[in-house]
Amino acid sequence: MPRRRGPSGPFRPQPAGRCRKCYEGYVEVPFGRSRQLPRLINPRSSAGQVFLLQVLIVLLLVSAAVAGLVTQAANDAVRQGRRASVVAAESFANAPGTAPALRSRHPTAALQPRAEAARKRAGVDFVVVMNTQGIRYTYPYPWEIGKKFVGTIAPALHGHTVVEQAGGPPLPAGKGTAVQAVVPVTDAHGTVVGLVSAGLTVKNVARLWLPQLLMALGAGVAALVLAGTGTTLVARRLLRQTGGLAPSELAGMYAHHDAVLHAVREGVLITDAGGRLVLANDEARRLLGLPEGAPGTAARELRLPEALTDLLTSPDEVTDEVCPVRDRLLAVNKRPTFPGDRRGGSVVTLRDTTELAAVSGRAEVARERLRLLYEAGMRVGTTLDVRRTAQELADAAVPRFADLVTVDLLEPVLHGWEPTAEGWRCLRRTAIGGAQEAMPVYPLDDVIALSSGTPQMLALQQGTGVLEPDLWRAHGWRQNAPERTRAALELGMLSLVTVPLRARNVTLGVANFYRTRGSPAFEPEDLSFAEELTARAAVAIDNARRFTREHATAVTLQHSLLPRGQPEQDALEVAWRYLPAEAGVGGDWFDVIPLPGARVALAMGDVVGHGLHAAATMGRLRTAVHNFSSLDLPVDEVLGNLDDLVVRMDNEDSPGDGREGEGVTGATCLYAIYDSVTGTCTMARAGHPVPVVVAPDGTVLCPEVPVSAPLGLGGYPFETAELHLPEGAQLVLYTNGLVEDRTRDLDAGLDALRQALATATGRTPDETCQAVIDALKPTHRRDDVALLVARTRLVARSRIAEWEVPSDPAVVPSVRARCREKLEQWGLEEDVYTTELIVSELVTNAIRYGAPPVTVRLLRGHCLMCEVSDASSTSPRLRRAATMDEGGRGLFLVAQFAQRWGTRYTPRGKVIWAERTLHDGAAPTAAQTPVDVLLEQFGDL
């Protein structure tokens, strides 16, 4: 198997971004840094083992050389020492004067100096002169003189020379074995008169072979250096060629590669630059029918099909080229063995695609159907509109599944109602997709009557789809509208699949899928796909239907809870606009509530959430505001009571009760009371956007009304602000849906509102409302929009009569007289008697039960208002007096003659008020009050 190569050499398997470890014996280096020298002494690496073997061989050779040199040098030294010793001994023995000195009286004195001088001249370690008994006369050390000589002297006494190695006393050259020669000293007659011994120590002999030893060691060191250098070079080359793998790892890798090569279910061929087959695995032999001896054969000699042979011998790369080989279809891929290298060669892979080709068509169809289902899921149901959703279903199926698609829905579905089986015979054409102009189909919004034998009716009754592969044989379909179906068949209508639209066990209509001439007829697999597609669309249509029903119900409920017309009052000129959200109804609300004393209460609120729950909660809050206003409470107390109410509703509407919505999470509200007599407006806001005031001169400003916590948090006080509004000023209240959406933040919305109001000078409130809506209305309303514009009015001083009454019952007639005079001045003569009665009773009660000062005020507007105030906080009560009771009838008379009456508290006491409605300048006649009831109450008069 050829070696795999990387971009610059053999393939090196190493993980990217991590430290790589060379084969055993190499140090770890960070990836990308230069490789360090190998640790050659490591015996586990191949290079280390080779190096150690070389070191051992060098050591053995050096040791053998040194041993030989030492032995040879020792032998030569001994021979040389023998000669030197013999020469030195014979020279001294034969020297003149030696024999006479031995016969002298003091031989040591005569011979010692001469012996030392001879020793130094001869380069020997000792020269010893002794007598025939072996007693030394000379020695390098004087204290050794007179001692017996160590060595063999017997042969020398007979005239022979003795050479031997023997140890002796210490010498200047040191201790050691001595090489010594013993020669006789003879006189003139040849008689041995003494002996001379000269010699060398072993240490001195060693200096003769020591230089050769150093040369041998130097040669050994040089050999080791050469061995190390060679090992390093070999190791680096091995590293490059093996990729850092040990021999065992290389062997295992090749074994694994060989196993994988022959086990893989894909044919592999390797050819050289000449087009000769180098390797073929078992799968390639099976697919191509190659013999065992095929490797080494030229590609054109393998008797393969011509197309495959051309691919094998061509130098070009090949990707998924399909070639027929015998009864198989093989996908061929070809790549060069050494990219960018001149060595050439290529690797060819063969994959059997025979079975894949058989199922590829069906797999492609299945993929296309899955893709169509996915896209339909994304396209169908993008809105909560029934008609739009049906049209999205028709468009999604054309032209990839059908040539023509129609969707027919039951009439109640279009209105959000619950469909029933009674309406199946009449369906309304809701959507058409495809070539509707080329086919005579029912147009949109036509009512289609279905007979019992049609495929559509069968589908509705069975609850499953119906397949008509050939419409020429579909008798039920042809008989339903013979002329229309005949024309459709002549124009090429071919096949039909009709599927009922069912969701949550409710039948909504049918979807009809048609194919025309030029397209294949529908098959059973197409019916299953149509059912799946229609089931997904039916859920979207049912969601739109349910939303339509809920939205219509919520809008109806909300409109029924909002003001339907202008209330009758003189303090403000009011106009409003309300725009519900496109997707669900919110809880925005407003109200205009007339109050006694020429005052009007304005309320604007926004309940958190959408849908029926928010609308119902809004209605409860609006009713509560009406009730609190009827009590004539201050603005902060009204918001406090609303806050308590929202908290109670939160506790009642807990998340676990299973109802729609999960409780009221909060609400905002702005409540204001405008007094047209004084021109003051007192307001407070609970988390609501700040109001805007447009002065008569066109100046637009946002008054500093403190913002308090939204309703529903509980326990937080509400701060109030009092504004003075000149006559003709416009007070603008709104909800956040007007100034805030996803494309515009609150500050930008307020700036746009101020700009729209800056041009509202001289406009009526209704014109101002329309101008603001045109300027700020969002394109897609995701929240309700409520806008209220109120232009202020002031009660003319000529329509006000006010005077103080002393705390004395005797002044009541004078009060009646002044009241009569004022009414006659206003032209209300017919109302004088009733008004005098009301004022008389109220003043009498104030003097009797109240505290001074007592004040009477008459206001003329759309009605006549009588107010009597005092400094007491005691409130009168209406009761039925018995026949014998002296009192208790005054308030009863007031209640009978006045349309409304009541009590309101002020910081200085209370005000008892009564109103009588004026019709064309005249009060209603007393005939409206039962006279018999009055006479019964005053039967004692």
Token pair 């001289």 is at which residue? Answer: 762
Phi, psi of 215 (to 5 degrees): -65, -40
**Beta strands, E only, 525-595:** 572-579, 586-595
Contact 752, 739 (CB under 8 A): yes
Contact 696, 680 (CB under 8 A): no
Going by C-alpha positions, the residue among 928, 906, 907 that lies closest to residue 916 is 928
Q: Are strands 162-166 and 178-186 parallel, antiparallel or unpaired?
A: antiparallel
Q: How many percent of the chain have pLDDT more than 70?
A: 82
Going by C-alpha positions, the residue among 458, 484, 462, 471 that lies closest to residue 514 is 471
The two structure tokens encoding residue 254: 């090749």
713: pLDDT strictly greater than 60: yes
Q: What is the pLDDT of residues 136-188, one digit of tens each?
A: 889 888 888 888 888 888 888 888 888 888 777 777 766 655 788 899 988 88
H or E element in which residue 705 lies = none
- Helix, strand, or coil here: 838? helix
| Sheet of strand 192-201, all strands in order from the earlier edge strand to the far edge | 126-130, 192-201, 178-186, 162-166
How many C-beta atoms surround the C-beta of residue 934 within 10 A?
15
pLDDT of residue 722: 93
**Least confident residue range of 50-54, 287-291, 314-318, 337-341:** 337-341
Going by C-alpha positions, the residue among 864, 877, 866, 886 that lies closest to residue 941 is 886
Phi, psi of 301 (to 5 degrees): -100, 5
Tell me how far apart the alpha carbons of residues 232 and 37 are, in angstroms, rounded to a whole number.
Answer: 7
The answer for residues whose C-beta is within 8 angstroms of residue 359's C-beta and 6 or more apart is: none
HSE-CB at 888 with a 13 A cutoff on CA atoms is 9
Phi, psi of 931 (to 5 degrees): -65, -35
pLDDT of residue 583: 63
- Helix, strand, or coil here: 870? strand
pLDDT of residue 573: 92
Selected residue with higher pLDDT from 273 and 654: 273
Tell me how far apart the alpha carbons of residues 318 and 323 are, in angstroms, rounded to a whole number.
Answer: 12
Tell me how far apart the alpha carbons of residues 371 and 396 are, in angstroms, rounded to a whole number.
Answer: 11
The two structure tokens encoding residue 333: 């891929």
Q: What is the pLDDT of residues 616-668, one digit of tens each?
A: 788 888 889 988 988 888 999 999 999 998 888 877 765 544 454 445 567 89
The answer for residues whose C-beta is within 8 angstroms of residue 248's C-beta and 6 or more apart is: none
- Helix, strand, or coil here: 203? helix
Answer whether the bond into residue 809 is a cis peptide, omega within 30°. Answer: no
C-alpha distances (whole Å) from 820 to each of 812, 817, 833, 839, 850 are 12, 5, 8, 10, 24
Tell me how far apart the alpha carbons of residues 126 and 130 are, in angstroms, rounded to a whole number.
Answer: 13
Using only the alpha carbons of the chain, give its radius of gyration: 65
Q: Please return the burial class of 519, using the count of CB atoms within 10 Å of its CB with bins 0-12, 13-18 and 19+.
A: middle
Q: Are strands 178-186 and 447-449 parallel, antiparallel or unpaired?
A: unpaired
pLDDT of residue 890: 66
C-alpha distances (whole Å) from 130 to each of 86, 157, 185, 198, 451 are 16, 11, 10, 11, 163
The two structure tokens encoding residue 740: 């805030």
326: pLDDT strictly greater than 80: no
Residue 863 β-bridge partners:
917
Contact 533, 465 (CB under 8 A): no
Residue 786 β-bridge partners:
578
**Least confident residue range of 502-506, 703-707, 764-768, 889-893:** 889-893
The two structure tokens encoding residue 172: 């200047």
Tell me how far apart the alpha carbons of residues 200 and 204 are, in angstroms, rounded to a whole number.
Answer: 7
pLDDT of residue 670: 95
**Rounded to the nearest 10 degrees, what angle do helices 832-849 and 812-826 cross at?**
150
pLDDT band for position 482 (cuts 50, 70, 90): confident
**Beta strands, E only, 678-767:** 680-686, 692-694, 700-701, 707-708, 721-724, 730-734
Tell me how far apart the alpha carbons of residues 364 and 929 are, in angstroms, rounded to a whole number.
Answer: 90
Phi, psi of 845 (to 5 degrees): -65, -40
pLDDT band for position 4 (cuts 50, 70, 90): very low
Phi, psi of 921 (to 5 degrees): 85, 0
Going by C-alpha positions, the residue among 621, 641, 596 that lies closest to residue 905 is 596
Tell me how far apart the alpha carbons of residues 342 and 859 are, in angstroms, rounded to a whole number.
Answer: 115
572: pLDDT strictly greater than 60: yes
Long-range contacts of 173-177 (CB under 8 A, 24+ apart): 173/125, 173/200, 173/201, 173/203, 173/204, 174/201, 174/203, 175/201, 176/201, 176/202, 176/203, 177/201, 177/202
Selected residue with higher pLDDT from 79 and 797: 797
Tell me how far apart the alpha carbons of residues 639 and 682 are, in angstroms, rounded to a whole number.
Answer: 13
Residue 406 β-bridge partners:
432, 512
Write down how long the chain is: 941
Q: What is the pLDDT of residues 865-880, one digit of tens each?
A: 898 888 888 777 666 6
| Sheet of strand 730-734, all strands in order from the earlier edge strand to the far edge | 572-579, 785-792, 730-734, 692-694, 700-701
Contact 402, 465 (CB under 8 A): no
pLDDT of residue 467: 92
Token pair 């999960």 is at which residue? Answer: 662
Tell me how far apart the alpha carbons of residues 51 and 47 are, in angstroms, rounded to a whole number.
Answer: 6
80: pLDDT strictly greater than 50: yes
H or E element in which residue 93 lies = helix 46-93
Tell me how far apart the alpha carbons of residues 294 and 277 are, in angstroms, rounded to a whole number.
Answer: 7
pLDDT of residue 759: 78
Contact 528, 589 (CB under 8 A): no
33: pLDDT strictly greater than 60: no
pLDDT of residue 206: 56
Tell me how far apart the alpha carbons of residues 615 and 607 are, in angstroms, rounded to a whole number.
Answer: 8
pLDDT band for position 689 (cuts 50, 70, 90): very high
C-alpha distances (whole Å) from 869 to each of 805, 847, 859, 905 are 10, 10, 14, 9
pLDDT of residue 887: 52
Going by C-alpha positions, the residue among 14, 527, 560 that lies closest to residue 22 is 14
- Helix, strand, or coil here: 295? coil
- Helix, strand, or coil here: 800? strand
Tell me how far apart the alpha carbons of residues 709 and 684 are, in angstroms, rounded to a whole number.
Answer: 11
Answer whether the bond into residue 399 is a cis peptide, omega within 30°. Answer: yes
Q: Please return the burial class of 276, using the count of CB atoms within 10 Å of its CB with bins 0-12, 13-18 and 19+.
A: middle
The answer for residues whose C-beta is within 8 angstroms of residue 699's C-beta and 6 or more apart is: none
pTM beyond 0.85, yes or no: no
How many C-beta atoms surround the C-beta of residue 522 within 10 A?
23
